[in-house]
Structure 1
Amino acid sequence: MTSMIKKAALLATAAAMPMMMATTASAEGERYVLVSHAPDSDSWWNTIKNALALAGEQMGVTVEYRNPPTGDLADMARIIEQVAASNPDGIITTLSDPDVLSGPIRAAVDAGIDVVIMNSGTPDQARAVGALMYVGQPEYDAGLAAGMRAKGDGVTSFLCVNHYISSPSSTERCQGFADGLGIELGNQMIDSGQDPSEIKNKVMAYLSANPDTDAILTLGPTSADPTLLALEENGMAGDIYFGTFDLGEDIVKGIKAGVIKWGIDQQPFLQAYLPVVVLTNYDRYGVLPGNNINSGPGFVTATALEKVEAFAGEYR
């Protein structure tokens, strides 16, 4: 009997060992820093911050968010250099302008820091700087899909409200939309700046000078929210074809009211959450997905709003 009890105890201990080992492995204290190009004023990035915090909590790692307060890309490049000098286990960063950012990102990789590119850039650009992978939405392709959709709805001219024209990826959205329509971009893209009043005034001025404009494309809440106000003021809300990139509380309201036809959902939650999961499992177990991850584009319309509305600005 004593022998049987000892054997049972040994079996129980052996069965528990894998669980004990896994628990130890999941508390190694890795630190990952996400560096974005977004200015402090861009509320769309709140979803990124929420996803980053949740991933850190669930994976048991330390996460940090850094960004240039005004969106200055030279400042962002310096932040990447500072973060790399602090020797984190990994850096998650956007590649909104390869000419400015490739150097510091490549230097971080050469210093032995694992990097995942998210949100901006392309899989090819991520590979060129030595990143492990890319998680995001190919911006030109998303604009192209939106333009083809709008063409099918009869759109032949448009205004693209570009609130972040210094970022090449923003221009790719406008160019893709024009190509999807099969027309020249030309002067149909305006540099709106990021001040809400200025954006509203520039949209109203353009539509006044170009009354035959069929459609408006905005590139996120920063430009979409003031454009909604502009259309309310000039009486065009609901009468002009209006599509936008990204989601937000006011964008969702606009879709629900029929003022905005669709929002292009690139799922920013996944863009921040998945890199933390990927880096953690790569550090701990040496496993890595074999492909880049496209988080979008997906089109959100009035027929699919229930869950999006509940989490807009938080997780969607």
Structure 2
Amino acid sequence: MQSPRKTRYTRAVAAALVAVACASAGAADKYVLISHAPDSDSWWNTIKNAIKQAGEDFGVEVDYRNPPNGDLADMARLIEQGAARNYNGVITSIADYDVLKSAMGKVTAKKIPLITINSGTTQQSESLGAIMHVGQPEYEAGKGAGMKAKAAGIKSFVCVDHQATNDGLMQRCKGFADAIGADISKSLLDTGEDPVTVESKVSAYLRNNPGTQAILTVGPSGAVPTLKALEKAGKYGKIWLATFDLTPEISAAIKNGGMQFAIDQQPYLQGYIPVAVMAIMKRDKTTDIGKVQAALKADKKFAARLAEYGLAPAYGPRHIGSGPGFVTKENIGKVEQYAGQYR
């Protein structure tokens, strides 16, 4: 017998899929992708490029919306506006489940298809009634990074978390801690997103904890200021450092030995796939996720883009994984060619 929660999820997904498959013909469908990123976060430029290409490939329109200062209350209002404007589909990150679940509920209550990306877990996505989640399995990615650190002899670390309310980022830290056998409660540094503050807090932590062997940053907002802090402390390249995601500064650090690797969650896929999935459901008049994924795999334009950019999605029964991939000195040439645009 299905649990009440499973039954509610199944009904919600069915309603959303029917809404996609049965949308009326006429003007081009219009979707919106709402992120939690402030205007200053250039990492999301790759996702902006992805939704633009997906819109062109599938003949649909896609808007991008975000809270200018990264305020999650503003993000919730943007999601509510997405519901009020009756988009054909809403794509959004789960930056903070508790803050955003009410707003997402207004989307699904109107039977507007919802796909979650990037932040959050597949379990959270299902509980919100989303069709699927497209993102990196965060705990596993953190653990994979931790296993590499363990092999290098690392037993202690600090995780620089620039967005403490984001459960996905916490999972990255926890996976790493579990892999090396560290106590996560003693290995967290909540810095916020202001780069000056991040640099100051990392510098202070290293002064107070001189035996720290390694640093894991959970994104560029923490990584770039951390690199500056290490340079000023004369510890650049001397402390084991890894991060999630890529920027030109991170690529340079990998090449010159200041950073071990970056964990790439292939953000292009987080933008392109949700738009493609909704468009295919409408085009093929199907609610079968298996058939939709098969059609996506067979799409020649999508296949060509994957080959050109060196990307590889991980298809599941419903959800689609966009990572992790490890960017090192050995493979950074291919990745760097498209970094900030399509990687």
Amino acid at match of 2:138: E
**1:218 offset after TM fit, Å?**
0.7
State the Cα RMSD in Å.
1.6
Among residues 325, 334, 343, which one is paired with 1:298 in the alignment? Answer: 325
Matches within 5 A, 1:264-303: 264-287=263-286, 288-289=292-293, 290-303=317-330
Report the Cα distance in structure 1 between the residues aligned to 2:153 and 2:249, rounded to whole angstroms.
26
1:258 equivalent to 2:285? Answer: no
- Whichever of the two has the greater Rg, that structure is 1
Q: Name the residue aligned to 1:309.
A: 336
Per-residue CA distance 1:193-212 (angstroms, 9 max, x = gap): 22222211211111111111
Corresponding residue number in structure 1 for 2:50 = 51
Check 1:313–1:70 CA distance in 2 against 1; reply closer, same or farther (3 A cut).
same
1:301 deviation in Å? 0.6
Residues in 2 aligned to 1:151 and 1:262: alpha-carbon distance in whole angstroms: 14
8 Å contact kept, 2:28–2:61:
yes
Aligned to 1:81: 80
Instruction: Label 1:236 to 1:69 Cα distance change in 2 as closer, same or farther (>3 A).
Output: same
Rounded Cα–Cα distance in structure 2 between residues aligned with 1:27 and 1:52: 21
**In structure 2, distance between residues paired with 1:204 and 1:131:** 41
Q: Contact 1:97–1:169 (CA<8 Å) still a contact in 2? A: no
Alignment CA distance shift 1:26-1:233 (3 Å) = farther
Task: Give, in whole Å, the separation in 2 of the partners of 1:172 and 1:70.
Answer: 24
Matched letter for residue 67 of structure 1: N
Q: Is the CA contact 1:136–1:293 (under 8 Å) kept in the aligned structure 2?
A: yes
Q: Which amino acid aligns with 1:233?
A: K
3-state SS of 2:101 partner: helix
Tell me, which stretches of 5 or more residues in structure 2 are unaligned?
Answer: 1-23, 287-291, 294-316
1:278: how far off? 0.5
1:165-204 correspondence runs (5 A): 165-204=164-203
Q: Match for residue 244 of structure 1?
A: 243
Matched, 1:123 2:122: yes
CA distance in 1: counterparts of 2:203 and 2:118, whole angstroms: 30
SS in 2 for 1:155: coil
Q: Name the count of aligned residue pairs.
A: 292
Give the C-alpha shift of residue 96 in structure 1: 2.0
Deviations 1:55-79 (A, max 9, x none): 1122111110111122222221111
CA deviations over 1:147-192 (Å, ceiling 9, x no partner): 1221111111111111111222222211221111112112321111
In 2 relative to 1, CA 135–26 (structure 1 residues): closer, same or farther, beyond 3 Å? farther
Give how far 1:27 is off.
Answer: 8.3
Unaligned runs of 5+ in 1: 1-24
Distance 1:153 1:88 in 2: 49
Q: Give how far 1:95 is off.
A: 1.2
Which deviations, in whole Å up to 9, do the C-alpha atoms of 1:262-314 show, x marking residues without a partner?
A: 10000000000111111111122134334211101111111001121111111
Judged with a 3 Å threshold, the aligned counterparts in structure 2 of structure 1 residues 27 and 272 are, in CA distance, closer, same or farther, namely: farther
The residue type equivalent to 1:207 in the other structure is L
Contact 2:31 2:89 in 1 (8 A): yes
Alpha-carbon offset, residue 252 of structure 1: 0.6
Task: Give the TM-score, by structure 1 length.
Answer: 0.89
**Residue 248 of structure 1: how far off its partner (Å):** 1.1
Mapped partners of 2:31, 2:282: distance in 1: 11
TM-score normalised over the length of structure 2: 0.82
Give yes or no for contact 1:248–1:312 (8 Å, CA) kept in 2.
yes
Residue in 2 aligned with 1:35?
Answer: 34
Asked if 1 retains the 8 angstrom alpha-carbon contact of 2:119 and 2:167, the reply is no
The offset of 1:26, in angstroms, is 10
Q: Which shifted more, 102-111 or 87-96?
A: 102-111
Which whole-Å CA distance do the structure 1 matches of 2:30 and 2:151 have between them? Answer: 47
Q: Is the 8 A contact 2:95 2:165 kept in 1?
A: no
How much does 1:251 deviate? 0.5
Deviation of the 1:101 alpha carbon: 1.4
